Chains A and B, each alone.
Chain A
Amino acid sequence: MLAKRIIPCLDVNAGRVVKGINFLELRDAGDPVEVARRYDEQGADEITFLDITASSDERDIILHIVEQVANQVFIPLTVGGGVRTVADVRRLLNAGADKVSMNSAALSNPDLVAEASGKVGNQCIVVAIDAKRSADDSRWEVFSHGGRKNTGLDAVEWAKRVASLGAGEILLTSMDRDGTKSGFDLALTRAIADAVSIPVIASGGVGSLAHLADGVQQGRADAVLAASIFHYGEHTVREAKEFMRARGIEVRL
């Protein structure tokens, strides 16, 4: 049976792994190559790098990091952040990424999703969706530009749209939960997972191993992504998998 995936996420800023709270307040969490190697040894199923570097001058640093990691770590690597064109996608894939994640660029130009997946295959294209509950609590709205700009789009509708455009996977982050350690937004995760026929990665809010299991069992996520519970040594990926297996979830151990 296909295993549910556990994906440690490394936010990379100017060449270092960092972790923020609600998209702000960055803390240093180490060297990306060392951190990636540690997660590989612990049995991570994939690794995701999000390049949150603000300056375009420093943008190319991520290519060197991806190259170095890909030389040493033989599991799938997803890279996102600042991807705007098909040329950006190709450069990351050529550096050793297996999948490339796009967010704001897909919102401002949805055709990019179709164009990129047509060129490199839909299995390489991940669309990241940052979603937040609307003020009247009736739905979730999609935000762009690192969570700064409300697009007004409905998250479920946007997920369906990118799936039909050729995205191979959705990386879904709850902005309400990100960095809070209070667990995934399970209703959001479930709504998106049930709406699309492509895999969904749940992200944002993991504070305990039970949250990971809940994301799969209640949220119906195909994969769960977390950062801080792994970065600061609270839990290893292996512990997370043992916990999930004990809850009856198929994992690779």
Chain B
Amino acid sequence: MKVLVVDYGMGNLRSVAKAVERVAPHAQVVVSDQAQALRDADRVIIPGQGAMHDCMREFMARGLHDALLKVAAEKPFLGICVGMQMLFDHSEEGDTPGLGILPGRVRRFPADMFDAAGVPLKVPHMGWNEVLPVKPHPLWQGIAEQGTAGERFYFVHSYYCDPADQAAVAARTVYGLPFTCAVAQANIAAIQFHPEKSAAAGLRLLANFIDWQP
């Protein structure tokens, strides 16, 4: 099996590739920025870190747009962090248009959020927070069952996805407000947190993605 980690000059691809190698020792993990690699892969992961407009610019500059639309229509696909945000119509970060694969917008956390004790919440939302699945999905296998207390994953972001289609929402997290931290629709899955930095739970999620047969 060929697993492609899309390299478009942004983010910590190495960690993602190493984590996939760990959970899928028999898979061939490819890191590439070539459209042909997207066509050749059996599964595709788009990581992402940094500013949305830089991510989109680098992504488009490599001519990956059409190949990605095709992948999103037919192959198991996982977007991580900005790789999730890019799937939507628009981001408030730099007033940037996204790929429009999923309807919805990416918004900044409001400045005036407080915890239960009235202490202001910091942005970026940085650290380990609970992921609460709202619908069953193979990605959650053995991690967090619906309706129970959520497993913790590592987050680091200042913007969050606000999908227009609630049926696509796969999990939520609460930070000042409840926000969508995972979406899943047909062969597309995308998560705001970083499985490659989320210890055992993160590795389990990546293993689930490798086993997933949408």
Contacts and interface: CB of A to CB of B under 8 A. Distances in A.
Given A3-B129, A120-B50, A76 B14 contact: no
A2 B14 contact: no
Contact of B127 (A40, A168, A223): A223
Contact of A198 (B116, B124, B157, B194): B124
A13 B201 CA distance: 33
A46 to B, nearest CB: 8
Interface string A45-89: 100000000000000000000000011001110000000000000
Contact of B111 (A75, A122, A197, A200): A197
Contacts of A76: 154, 156, 194, 197
Nearest to A220: B119
A93 B119 CA distance: 32
B120 A93 contact: no
Interface stretch (B15-23, B66-74, B95-103): B15-23
B41 to A, nearest CB: 22
Contact of A169 (B22, B119, B126, B203): B126
B123 interface: yes
Given A1-B174, A220-B119, A222-B122, A252 B49 contact: no
Given A74-B19, A75-B197, A76-B154, A2 B49 contact: no
Contact of A121 (B15, B49, B120): B49
A234 to B, nearest CB: 23
Interface string A182-193: 000000000000
Chain B interface helix/strand/loop/mixed: mixed
Interface residues of B, number: 39
Contacts, number: 97
B108 to A, nearest CB: 12
Given A70-B15, A74-B198, A93-B12, A2 B50 contact: no
A252 B196 CA distance: 17
9 contacts: A3-B127, A74-B22, A75-B198, A118-B51, A120-B50, A124-B50, A197-B120, A199-B124, A223-B127
Query: Top 8 nearest A-B pairs by Cβ distance?
Result: A121-B50, A252-B128, A3-B128, A123-B156, A199-B122, A2-B129, A252-B152, A76-B197
